């Protein structure tokens, strides 16, 4: 190699270094501009049908819920296939932040009062931060306020109390499909017989298939591990359809569970689908913005 080639080679070294530096600066700029995108609307509301969904109520938003169940359809024509009887629950869920939701409710069934806290630990996301699933935790409690069957015996207030602890892990696989699992433990201070367990372990599974922008099909099933409940109780199975109309979401469904709170539909479901022990019912969700998003901080 002659001296002219050496000079040309040395002259190209700083040019190559400069180009590499420009590429590095460009990649750094792109990294800074990349944002984290969180999955939204895996389910239309924070409930699938009975189960909590992986969604939370948005921060600063109040969600007013009306849950309604008619009687069992196997009541026949005399009971107008269940429409002569009804149970309901009124509830208020409030988004303290986008991740933390608190709720209270009152049911006509067993005159139960209930409350819960729900926190979204992980959020499914893509982009700068990748998280494949959403993980949430629910802690709930309820109080049965029905008068004592035998007021002359020694009755304890603690016997009216029930507690539920639940994890929800789920994923929005596409705009049309969302699935979740809900491992759950229900603690009952008082049980009917010695054969029943105070702590009941169960696993819920739920899914949503979006049909149109305003219609979706929901399904959920709750499997209770064996030898925890009496022979009269069964696993909960519910099927429904969501209809969105602006600020309202209507959920029409069929379920074998009478109760609309965890300790009831997980541990006290007596209906059997194959025998017509099915309720027709609906949930109505209406949201109100209490604190504007510009003022609300997570």
Residues 213, 90, single domain; the answer is: yes
Based on the fold, state whether residues 12 and 71 are members of the same structural domain: no
Whether residue 284 lies inside any domain: the answer is: yes
In the predicted model, is pLDDT for residue 23 greater than 70? no
Both 8 and 62 in a single domain?
no
Q: Are residues 175 and 199 in the same domain?
A: yes
**Is 297 a domain residue?**
no
Q: Which domain, by its residues, includes 106?
A: 37-289
The reply to whether 1 and 50 lie within a common domain is no
Question: CA dist 283 to 5, 91, 161, 223, 253, Å?
Answer: 82, 11, 25, 23, 8
Provide the pLDDT for residue 79. 87
User: In terms of domains, do 22 and 120 share one?
Assistant: no
pLDDT band at 31 (very low <50, low <70, confident <90, very high): low
Residue 295 in any domain: the answer is no
| pLDDT greater than 50 at residue 227 | yes
Q: If 0-12 CB within 10 Å is exposed, 13-18 middle and 19+ buried, where does residue 297 land?
A: exposed
Q: Domain for residue 44, yes or no?
A: yes
- Per the domain annotation, does 117 fall within a domain? yes
Q: SS3 of 104, please?
A: strand
Domain shared by 273 and 147, yes or no: yes
Residue 8 exposed, middle or buried by CB count within 10 Å (0-12, 13-18, 19+): exposed
Task: Say if residue 219 is in the same domain as residue 271.
Answer: yes
Query: Would you say residue 16 has pLDDT above 70?
Result: no
21 with 65, same domain?
no
pLDDT of 226 > 70? The answer is: yes
Could you tell me the pLDDT band of residue 193, with boundaries at 50, 70 and 90? confident
Tell me the C-alpha distance between 47 and 53, whole Å: 5
Does 18 score more than 90 pLDDT? no
**Any domain includes 16:** yes
Q: Is residue 296, in this structure, part of any structural domain at all?
A: no
In the predicted model, is pLDDT for residue 96 greater than 90? Answer: yes
Q: Which CATH number belongs to the domain containing residue 109 in this structure?
A: 2.40.160.40
pLDDT at residue 286 in the model: 93
Count up the domains in the chain and report the number.
2
Strand ranges, E, within 108-176: 112-122, 125-127, 134-144, 161-172
205 and 81 within one domain: yes
In the predicted model, is pLDDT for residue 4 greater than 60?
no
> Rounded to whole angstroms, how far apart are CA atoms 179 and 160?
34
**43 and 28 housed in the same domain:** no
Return the pLDDT at 11: 46
Which residues lie closer than 8 Å to 77 by C-beta, 6 or more apart? none
Q: Residue 14: pLDDT above 60?
A: no
pTM score above 0.75: yes
112 lies in the same domain as 244: yes
């Amino acid at each position: 190699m002659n001296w002219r080639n050496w000079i040309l080679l040395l002259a190209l070294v700083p040019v190559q270094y400069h180009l590499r530096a420009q590429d590095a600066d460009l990649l750094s700029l792109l990294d800074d501009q990349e944002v984290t995108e969180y999955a939204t609307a895996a389910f239309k509301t924070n409930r699938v049908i009975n189960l909590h969904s992986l969604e939370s109520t948005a921060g600063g938003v109040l969600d007013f819920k009306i849950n309604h169940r008619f009687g069992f359809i196997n009541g026949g024509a005399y009971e107008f296939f269940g429409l002569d009887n009804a149970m309901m629950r009124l509830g208020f869920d409030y988004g303290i932040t986008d991740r933390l939701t608190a709720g209270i409710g009152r049911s006509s069934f067993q005159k139960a009062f209930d409350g819960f806290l729900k926190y979204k630990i992980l959020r499914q996301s893509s982009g700068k931060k990748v998280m494949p699933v959403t993980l949430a935790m629910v802690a709930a409690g309820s109080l049965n306020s029905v008068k004592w069957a035998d007021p002359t015996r020694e009755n304890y207030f603690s016997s009216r109390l029930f507690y539920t602890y639940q994890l929800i892990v789920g994923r929005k696989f596409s705009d049309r499909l969302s699935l979740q699992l809900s491992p759950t433990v229900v603690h009952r201070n008082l049980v009917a017989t010695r054969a029943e367990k105070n702590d009941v372990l169960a696993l819920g599974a739920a899914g949503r298939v979006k049909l149109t922008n305003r219609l979706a099909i929901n399904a959920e099933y709750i499997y209770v591990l064996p030898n925890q409940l009496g022979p009269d109780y069964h696993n909960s199975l519910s099927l429904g359809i969501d209809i969105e109309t602006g600020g309202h979401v209507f959920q029409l469904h069929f379920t074998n569970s009478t109760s609309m709170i965890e300790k009831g539909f997980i541990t006290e479901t007596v209906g059997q689908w194959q025998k017509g022990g099915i309720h027709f019912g609906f949930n109505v969700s209406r949201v109100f913005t209490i604190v504007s998003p510009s003022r609300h901080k997570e």
